[in-house]
Chain A
Amino acid sequence: MTERPGLAPGFEDYGLSSQRVFRLALGCLSRPCRALDFEAREGRPAWPLPPVAAALALTLLDSATPVWLSPSWRKAGDWLRFHRGCPVGGQAEKAAFILAASPAELPPLASLNQGSDRYPDSSATVIVASVLPLDGRRPWLAEGPGLDGPVIFEGHGLEAGFLDQWRGNRAAYPRGVDIFLAGEKHLAGLPRSVSLADFSGGDSRCM
């Protein structure tokens, strides 16, 4: 990391990289709950955020998108402001994008901007750093648009209590937030249209 992280470079070629990262994000939301590979070539070592979350932020943010950063990621505020001109540091409830360093630093979903009945698209988008467990620790069953029938979703490090929050988010549909789970080398999407159910106890009911 450089002495002044606020001046760390952005993408080498904004047009090319943002297009590739956007297509990855679009793929993740339109085929939810599965981790897609992030191409390492888009990242830069000097970034003050992990590469996947950083690339997504560079791709999607600008002066029209107020951003809220979780405590461990506040240091990236200057860098985002410098590259994307986005307002940083306001309240989480009003932010268009929520960037959280871990599921533990994520504000309650219900406290975030849910959009309105007339404009559900005005809701917040969450980018949260996640882990990709391969041991099936948190087997949830996911179902919804983008999925060809129910699939097992391993939670990517989301807390057990997240399931209840997500049920609330799903119940507010078409209002609600959408989530990107940004791993070290992977990205996954969890749009509000997807239902999650606990699968560990053999309960395959989907709400």
Chain B
Amino acid sequence: MTSAETGYNFAYLDEDSKRLIRRALLKAVAVPGYQVPFAGREMPMPYGWGTGGIQVTAALIGPDDVLKVIDQGSDDTTNAVSIRAFFSKTAGVATTTVTGEASIIQTRHRIPERPLKPGQIMVYQVPIPEPLRWLEPGETETRVLHALGEYGLMYVKLYEDISRHGRIATSYDYPVEVFGRYIMSPSPIPRFDNPKLDRSPALHLFGAGREKRIYAVPPYSPVRSLDFEDYPFAVQRWPEVCAICGASDSYLDEVVLDDGGRRLFVCSDSDYCAGRAGKGSPPQ
């Protein structure tokens, strides 16, 4: 199954590498939220630019798949374009920008606004998979903390936020507890997207290439954003609506219009916005 055009294997990765990633994915699904180490490969993109997600997608994808790639919610950002082109070239698969048409959605920093469906697979690009890393830099220690389920450190940090700022001052990559056991980084999605993970019908797979970790949230798994009874978790809201489609329920990007500080807000999810504005983005 070698691509004639590139001289590389289907979806670039060799079969040995795919197999070890596939075994890691199966274990990741069996232990939701637990970070499975794997011997990641150098990919032809830089570490930090989505190599973990790309390796997961390469291990998953087949000729029948339809791939959507987003970065910051948009199909048009340069890195999304680049990754989509990579899989078009090395796997020859169909691609789409329409959330509902995709069987695999690789993403950086967002979960689409349209509800996901059973059978869909989300693949997240993860820079720092360890939610405790900012509190404890050593992997030897954090691994023991996960083994013991000892997460007091994280709650202390969140509580310090509250005493200092009157709220939990984490706006993205907001830690979650999966299936009542592991604390997990949802990747740097805004906390706005966290509730979409809870009991989602889709399968969510997370790949960290440089840190060489894979983890998963199976469909319908309970995913709880960490909080306190008197300081419950809440998502961001905007007083504005999208200037293009008028949506009031979506995550908005702020666009600066001029030096005078005029600004407007538009949907970060380009497919959602185009769909609502009636333009509908055609499959590529």
A97–chain B nearest beta-carbon distance, Å? 9
Partner of A117, one of B62, B148, B179: B148
B31→A64 contact, CB < 8 A: no
Cβ distance A32 to chain B, nearest Cβ, rounded Å: 8
* Contact, CB under 8 Å: A121 / B32: no
Given A30-B219, A31-B219, A174-B31, A125:B26 Cβ within 8 A: yes
Question: Which residue of chain A lies nearest to B146 when distances are taken between CB atoms in the complex?
Answer: A118
Which residue of the partner chain, among B26, B36, B59, B199, contacts A29 with CB atoms under 8 Å? B26
Q: Are B32 and A16 in touch, CB under 8 angstroms? A: no
CA–CA, A193 and B27, complex, Å: 11
Known contacts A13-B1, A19-B62, A145-B218; A121 and B16 CB within 8 A of each other: no
CA–CA, A205 to B99, complex, Å? 38
Which residues of B lie under 8 Å from residue A147 when comparing CB positions?
A: 220
A148–B201 CB distance below 8 A: yes
- Chain A: residues with CB nearer than 8 A to chain B? 13-16, 18-20, 22-23, 25-26, 29-31, 59-60, 62, 64-65, 116-121, 123, 125, 144-149, 173-174, 178, 191-193
Contact count band on B: 35 or more
Q: Tell me the B residues contacting A by CB distance below 8 Å.
A: 1, 9-10, 15-16, 18-20, 22-32, 34, 36-37, 59-63, 118, 143-144, 146-148, 179, 181-182, 199, 201, 203, 216-221
Interface pair A60/B25, CB less than 8 Å apart: no
Q: Is the CB of A192 within 8 A of B30?
A: yes
**Are B179 and A178 in contact, with the CB atoms below 8 A?**
no
| A16–B10 alpha-carbon span in the complex (Å) | 9
Task: Report how far A193 CA is from B178 CA in the complex, Å.
Answer: 12
CB pairs A–B below 8 angstroms (8 shown): A13-B1, A16-B63, A18-B19, A25-B26, A30-B216, A31-B218, A121-B36, A191-B31
Q: A120-B34, A121-B37 are in contact. List 6 more A-B contacts (CB 8 A).
A: A22-B60, A31-B219, A121-B24, A146-B218, A173-B31, A174-B34
A146–B1 CB distance below 8 A: no
State the Cβ distance, A40 to closest chain B Cβ, in Å. Answer: 17
For the complex, give the distance between the alpha carbons of A121 and B118 in Å: 26
Asked if A121 contacts B220 (CB within 8 A), the reply is no
Complex CA gap A176/B24 in Å reads 15
Residues of B within 8 A of A14 (CB): 1, 15
Max chain A Cβ within 10 angstroms of own Cβ: one of B25, B30, B31, B60: B30
- Report the separation of the CA atoms of residues A120 and B18 in the bound assembly, to the nearest whole angstrom: 21
Instruction: Check B36 against A18 for contact (C-beta < 8 Å).
Output: no
What is the bound-complex CA distance between A132 and B182, given in angstroms?
34
Kindly state the separation between the CA atoms of A174 and B144 in the bound complex, as whole angstroms: 13
Most buried by A among B16, B22, B26, B32: B26
Rounded to whole angstroms, the CA-CA distance of A121 and B220 in the bound complex is: 21
> A149 contacts which chain B residues (CB < 8 A)?
220
Query: Are B220 and A117 neighbours in the complex by a CB distance under 8 Å?
Result: no
Complex alpha-carbon distance, A31 and B201, angstroms: 10
Q: Which residues of A contact B25 (CB under 8 A)?
A: 26
Q: What are the residues of chain A within 8 A of B221 when measuring CB–CB?
A: 145-146
Contact between B19 and A62 (Cβ–Cβ < 8 Å)?
Answer: yes
Complex Cα gap A30–B28 (Å): 10
Contacts of A144 in B (CB 8 A): 179
- Once bound together, how far apart are the Cα atoms of A14 and B18, in whole Å? 12
Once A117-B147, A148-B220 are accepted as A-B contacts, the answer to whether A18 and B30 lie under 8 Å apart by CB is no
Residues of A within 8 A of B24 (CB): 121
| Given A15-B15, A120-B34, A191 contacting B29 (CB threshold 8 A) | yes
Evaluate contact between A146 and B19: CB separation under 8 angstroms.
no
Q: How far, in whole Å, are A20 and B64 apart by their CA atoms in the complex?
A: 9
- Find out whether the CB atom of B62 lies under 8 angstroms from the CB atom of A60: no
User: Which residue of chain A has its CB nearest to the CB of B149?
Assistant: A174
B265 → chain A, closest Cβ, in Å? 35
B61 CB to closest chain A CB, in angstroms? 8
**Could you say which residues of chain B place their CB within 8 Å of the CB of A123?**
27
Do the beta carbons of A193 and B31 come within 8 Å of each other? yes
Give the Cβ gap from A17 to chain B, nearest Cβ, in Å.
Answer: 10
Chain B contacts for A19, CB-based, 8 A: 10, 18, 60-62
Say whether, besides A31-B219, A178-B30, A60 and B179 are in contact (CB < 8 Å): no
Minimum C-beta distance from B281 to chain A (A): 27
Inter-chain CA distance A143–B179, complex, in Å, is 12
Chain A residue nearest to B59 (CB atoms) is A22
